[in-house]
Amino acid sequence: MKTKAMTEQLELFGCIQCGKCTGGCPVARKTVLNIRSMIYNMLVEPELDVKAHEELWDCTCCFTCVERCPKDVRPADLIIELRGQLVESGRIPETIGAALMGTFRQGNPSGMAREDRAAWVNGTEVKAAQEGCELLYYVGCTPAYDLRVHTVTRALARAFTAAGLDFGTLGTEESCCGNEIKRMGEAGLFEMLVEENSELFRSVGASRLVTTSPHCFNTIKNEYGLDGIEVLHYTQLVAALIEQGQLELSNEVNKKITYHDPCFLGKQNHVFDEPRAIIQAIPGVELVEMDRNRERSLCCEGGGGRMWAEGTNLEERLAFQRVHEAAETGAEILAVACPFCLLTLEDAVKVQGLDEQIQVMDIMELVNLSLGEE
Amino acid sequence: MERHKPAALIIGAGIAGIQAALDIADAGYPVYLVEREPSVGGRMSQLDKTFPTLDCSSCILTPKMVDVGRHPNIELMTYCEAVSVEKEGDTFRVQVRKKPRYVDVDKCTGCGECAAACRMKGRVISDFDEGIAKRSAIYVPFPQAVPLKFTIDPNSCLMLTRGKCGKGPLCQEACTADAIDFEQQEKFVDLDVAAIIVATGYDLIDPRTKPEFAYGIYPEVMTGIEFERLSSASGPTMGDITIDGKKPKDVVFIKCVGSRDSHTGVPYCSRFCCMYTAKHAHLVRDKVPDANITVFYMDVRAFGKGYEEFYDRVKQEQVMYRRGEPSEIYRRNGRVVVLAEDTLLGQPIEVEADMVVLATAAVPRADAAETAALVGLEMSPDGFFQEAHPKLRPVDTEVDGVFMAGCCQGPKDIPDTVAQAKAAASSALGVLARREKQLEQMDREDGIEDKSND
């Protein structure tokens, strides 16, 4: 691949090679991925053999590099572009190929049947957004299909109903938001999703859109350009509902809880306070912080398409480190606000044998407990 | 003062304002030196040693502070602020607010009995010591203060905040000179001057704007100016470089914290951090000989006279310069760990530390815009005051008769600041001399004889 065009397109000439990107990169510590050095290669070498860089698939798109680059270079964007080159040439991990195909065919990267997308509802009363609603609840693929996450989606629907909100979902018509697709390098498919989804979202006439996942929230809020529709992550909406007295958390949850900031919610969108506000609004809860929190939260390795690509060095997973950090606080519950974090960290708790000590729960599962019996 | 001598106003009595005041006063013109803090001295009075010669900062500054305090042509107006400036013809009519010290300076002997007696003793954060020491509500910022007169801090004095201090203010009981005066009110003084020099200095960026360095969370992480107070022989630890009473074994310096950084809105280089960091490393080597010292850098800018040589010397003192801007600090097994990439190795590294010193960016004063509006200055995009021409009129402003010196124009080290102060004084003297001639001429035309030389 010729480097010149991409170097110009991404304005890599501004890089001063300070190393802040690689220095803070959570995966650079365990694999050969070195984005600073890759930028340098792009600048000084006329050609780059992209396929020789298997480690491109290690990046989780946590965007720590982008957030901290003092010269606005956006190093992770280079990785996404280089993945794009690999996608175009078809030299991609099989699992990534399957995720892209699944999204193309069934509207979700896990390739599950579109007709099953609304199965999570399971008797919960949820209106079809197509009938018109004030709040569009964009469920997202993993929350819609992954059985482990159904407690979260149902808890959200329940909370919205309890708060008296006029909300609806797109049911089986909902498709992948494309956040992960874009980061896997499939820009074409991403654009198609943005176009189709935007049209669908607008047709509903909702003034607000809320997502389960920080990943969907990120792309819909920052990359869709939906003028006139306010895009929220559920933690923002639920925190506001609690503060305005529309949602009453009455049951005590007598637990010591620590909270893990998801990269796509915290680092990338600076939503730090609302998740904590919800946790602290639950009677009986004691919130304790891990040493690395907020902007310094350690990535769980679930983003940037990594739910569908193992990456190199499977042995030292960041999620392992993270659950040990959580356990060290003495917390009984590790609270999360992202379906990927929920899955990766819960798995890590099991693999690390910490399940007697600490339990991973989504904030909505905690809210659900506090709302009491249905 | 002679009738024909036009005066200069200098706003800010750091090293720039002090030097300019002395030069103008020595040339025979009256100077009003206005300083909002209780003492003159500015930033330089906070520093330990100065690069590259390692002169003790207060040893070279204090004589100049004393000189401005007793110069017959200088009227020192400390704890004062210029609040309005109106230009009428060639004259600036300036109003200065004298903040109440609640201490009669004519009576105060500077003995310090009041501070020793104060109920708030050891409970008020000392700004001068950058928060690493505490003082009383009645205080002098540092022992060499000029004037050596006490001031009551209205924000922490029990009498002034609550109207009550036990059965009575202990400072008042302790003061044998009867200098404490809680009834003191602010006063306004009007001055006519022919020239103004703005020398209001700089602030340092709040390192919390770089949350990845966890400043304010880990006591091991401090700023360069805090390190100065720690290392200063007249500072709270008498110059012992210690953290929590213990000498650090591993010390890490991080340069360019907040500077050269689009995120903080500080795109420029702060200019003096490279050299003071080299000096800090030297001071650690001097005082903690077996310490492991690491300096993380993006570039080393040692551009002044004797600077590269000083950098060479510090490196020879086994200070490890590693290229890479650290990305994060976290705590592991009780110690702080600095995460970085050593860009020369091309490898991410982790350096454990007992002390991390952040070389924070110099930024314009928080109220620079108000000062600019007061005097009619322009500001450059970086927020510092704009000189009339970046090369050929470096101390002039767009307002005739107004000049500037020191870091209010942009970050600079002490030699450059002093050079600029002398340039501003020289320019101001030109204005004063011309004005003096005009006045003499007008007097002659009015038939008034000049008797000042009789």
Residues A340 and A252 in one domain: yes
Q: Are residues A170 and A112 in the same domain?
A: yes
Distance CA B266, CA A8 (A): 25
Residue B35's pLDDT is what? 98
Residues 285-324 in B contacting A (C-alpha not used; CB under 8 Å): 298, 323-324
Q: What is the pLDDT of residue B57?
A: 96
Chain A CB contacts of B260 under 8 Å are 16, 70
CB B370 within 8 A of CB B359: no
pLDDT computed for residue B1 by the predictor: 42
Chain A residues 18-37 with a CB less than 8 Å from chain B:
18-25, 28-29, 34, 36-37
ipTM of the complex: 0.94
Mark whether B268 and B308 lie in a shared domain: yes
Q: Are residues B355 and B374 in the same domain?
A: no
Structural domain includes residue A94: no
Short-list A254, A224, A212, A218, CA closest to A340: A212
Token pair listed for B225: 């100016």
Kindly report the three-state secondary structure assignment for every residue of B204-225. ECCHHHCHHHCECCECCEEEHH
- The answer to whether residues A67 and A162 belong to one domain is no
CA dist list (Å): B219 to A137, B199, B222, B356? 44, 33, 7, 9
Residue numbers of the domain that contains A146: 103-241
Please give the tally of structural domains in chain A: 3
Give the tens place of pLDDT for each residue, A134-159.
999 999 999 999 999 999 999 999 99
Cβ of B343 and A20 within 8 Å?
Answer: no
Q: With contacts defined as CB-CB under 8 Å, which chain A residues touch B268?
A: none
Q: What is the pLDDT of residues A277-335, one digit of tens each?
A: 999 999 999 999 999 999 999 999 999 999 999 899 888 899 999 999 999 999 999 99
A111 and A30, same domain (yes or no): no
CATH number at residue B85: 3.50.50.60
Same domain, A235 and A254: no
- B132 contacts B110 by C-beta, under 8 angstroms: no
In a domain, B27, yes or no: yes
Sheet holding B319-323, edge to edge: B221-223, B355-360, B250-257, B292-297, B319-323
CA distances from residue A232 to A205, A213, A265, B28, B179 in whole angstroms, order as listed: 16, 10, 10, 69, 62
Residue B75 to chain A, least CA–CA distance (Å) = 46
Q: Which of B7, B29, B27, B9 shows the shortest CA–CA distance to B17? A: B9
The Cα–Cα gap between A39 and A274 comes to 36
B337 and B373: one domain?
no
pLDDT at B454: 47
Number of H helices and number of E strands within chain B? 10, 24
Q: Are residues B213 and B345 in the same domain?
A: yes
- Per-residue pLDDT at A17: 98
Look up residue B200 and give its two tokens: 């209001």
For the record, the structure tokens of A57 come out as 């698939």
Residue B357 shares a structural domain with residue B232: yes
| A277 token code pair | 């506000």
Residue B210 is encoded by which pair of tokens? 């770089």
Asked if B339 and A294 come within 8 Å (Cβ–Cβ), the reply is no
Residue type, B396: D
| Domain termination residue (choose one: B311, B329, B361) | B361
> CB-based contact (8 Å) between B440 and chain A?
no
Q: What is the pLDDT of residue A100?
A: 97
Based on the fold, state whether residues A212 and A138 are members of the same structural domain: yes
Which residue among A241, A274, A306 closes a domain?
A241
Same domain, B320 and B406: no
Let me know if residue A97 belongs to a domain. no
Asked if B213 and B343 sit in the same domain, the reply is: yes
Structure tokens at A61: 């798109």
Beta B292-297 vs B319-323: how paired, if at all? parallel
Residue B181 forms part of a structural domain: no
Domain assignment present for residue B299? The answer is: yes
Indicate whether B232 and B329 sit together in one domain.
yes
Strands (E), B279-378: 292-297, 319-323, 328-332, 335-342, 347-353, 355-360, 362-364
Average pLDDT, chain A: 96
**At A54, is the pLDDT very low, low, confident or very high (cuts 50, 70, 90)?**
very high
Q: Is the pLDDT of residue A63 over 70?
A: yes
For residue range A173-223, what is the model confidence (pLDDT) as tens digits?
999 999 999 999 999 999 999 999 999 999 999 999 999 999 999 999 999
| Pairwise CB contact (< 8 Å): A64 & B346 | no
Query: With an 8 Å Cβ cutoff, is B12 touching chain A?
Result: no
Q: Which of A43, A59, A89 is the last residue of a domain?
A: A89
Please provide the size of chain A in residues: 374
Any CB–CB contact under 8 A between B263 and chain A? Answer: yes
Q: Report the C-alpha gap between A221 and A229 in whole angstroms.
A: 9
Distances (CA, A) of A279 to A335, A367, B429: 9, 8, 66
B23 and B69 fall within a common domain: yes
> CB B340 to CB A19 under 8 A?
yes
The answer to whether residue B450 is domain-embedded is: no
Same domain flag for A33 and A156: no
Q: Are residues A70 and A181 in the same domain?
A: no
B325 touches chain A (CB under 8 A): yes
In a domain, B454, yes or no: no
Statement to judge: residues A45 and A143 lie in one domain: no
In-domain check, residue B106:
no
Q: Which residues on chain A are in Cβ contact (under 8 Å) with B261? A: 70
Residues A233-252, mean pLDDT to the nearest whole number: 97
H helix intervals, B75-192 = 113-117, 158-162, 170-174
User: pLDDT per residue over A345-362, tens digit each?
Assistant: 999 999 999 999 999 999
Q: Same structural domain for residues B190 and B73?
A: yes
User: How close does chain A come to B332, measured CA to CA in Å?
Assistant: 9
Burial A129-149 (b: 16+ CB within 10 A, else e): beeebebbbbbbbbbbbbeeb
CB of B343 within 8 Å of any CB in chain A? yes
Among candidates A23, A72, A291 on the partner chain, residue whose Cβ is nearest the Cβ of B341 = A23
What CA–CA distance (Å, rounded) separates B135 from B125?
Answer: 6
- In this structure, is residue B179 part of a structural domain? no
Distance CA B28, CA B39 (A): 24
Three-state DSSP string of chain A:
CECHHHHHHCCHHHCCCCCHHHHHCCCCCCCCCCHHHHHHHHHHCCECCHHHCHHHHHCCCCCHHHHHCCCCCCHHHHHHHHHHHHHHHCCCCHHHHHHHHHHHHHCCCCCCCHHHCCHHHCCCCCEEHHHCCCEEEECCHHHHHCHHHHHHHHHHHHHHHHCCCCEEECHHHCCCCCHHHHHCCCHHHHHHHHHHHHHHHHHHCCCEEEECCHHHHHHHHHHCCCCCCEEEEHHHHHHHHHHCCCCCCCCCCCCEEEECCCCCCCCCCCCCHHHHHHHHHCCCCEEECCCCCHHHCCCCCCCCCHHHCCCCCCCCCHHHHHHHHHHHCCCCEEEECCHHHHHHHHHHHHHCCCCCCCEEEEHHHHHHHHHCCC
Domain check: are A213 and A305 in the same one?
no
Residue B447 burial (CB < 10 Å; 0-12/13-18/19+)? exposed
Establish if A131 belongs to a structural domain: yes
CB contact under 8 A, A37 and B256: no
Q: Which of A156, A164, A165, A168 is nearest to A132 (CA)?
A: A168
CATH code, domain carrying A111: 3.40.50.1860
Which of the listed residues B335, B361, B387 is the one where a domain comes to its end? B361
The answer to whether B337 contacts chain A (CB < 8 Å) is no
Q: Would you call the peptide bond into B30 cis, given omega within 30 degrees of 0 as the criterion? A: no
Instruction: Say yes or no for a CB contact (<8 Å) between B348 and A23.
Output: yes
CB B156 within 8 A of CB B55: no
Shared-domain flag, residues A160 and A227: yes
Say if A95 falls within a structural domain: no
Quick one: A217 and A252 in the same domain?
no
Question: Which of B304, B333, B361 is at the close of a domain?
Answer: B361
Number of structural domains in chain B: 3
Range of the domain at B427: 8-99+186-202+364-445
Q: Please give chain B's pLDDT, 454 residues, in tens.
A: 446 799 999 999 999 999 999 999 999 999 999 999 999 999 999 999 999 999 999 999 999 999 999 999 999 999 999 999 999 999 999 999 999 999 999 999 999 999 999 999 999 999 999 999 999 999 999 999 999 999 999 999 999 999 999 999 999 999 999 999 999 999 999 999 999 999 999 999 999 999 999 999 999 999 999 999 999 999 999 999 999 899 999 999 999 999 999 999 999 999 999 999 999 999 999 999 999 999 999 999 999 999 999 999 999 999 999 999 999 999 999 999 999 999 999 999 999 999 999 999 999 999 999 999 999 999 999 999 999 999 999 999 999 999 999 999 999 999 999 999 999 999 999 999 999 999 998 888 887 655 555 4
Pair type for strands B91-98 and A256-259 = unpaired
Residue A233 lies in a domain: yes
Q: Count other Cβ atoms within 10 Å, centred on residue B344.
A: 11
A322 touches chain B (CB under 8 A): no
Residues 6+ apart with CB under 8 A from B66: B146
Query: B213 and B192: one domain?
Result: no
Q: Average pLDDT for residues A222-234, to the nearest whole number?
A: 96
Asked if B216 reaches chain A (Cβ–Cβ under 8 Å), the answer is: no
Q: Give the model's pLDDT for residue B452.
A: 52
Q: Which of A62, A89, A116 is the last residue of a domain?
A: A89
Instruction: Specify the pLDDT at position B451.
Output: 54
Q: Mark whether B381 and B425 lie in a shared domain.
A: yes
The kind and range of the H/E element at B22 are helix B15-26
- Whether A98 is covered by a domain: the verdict is no
Amino acid at site A359: Q
Q: In this structure, what is the dihedral angle of CA atoms B283, B328, B46, B22, given to the nearest 10 degrees? A: 100
Name the β-bridge partners of B294.
B252, B320
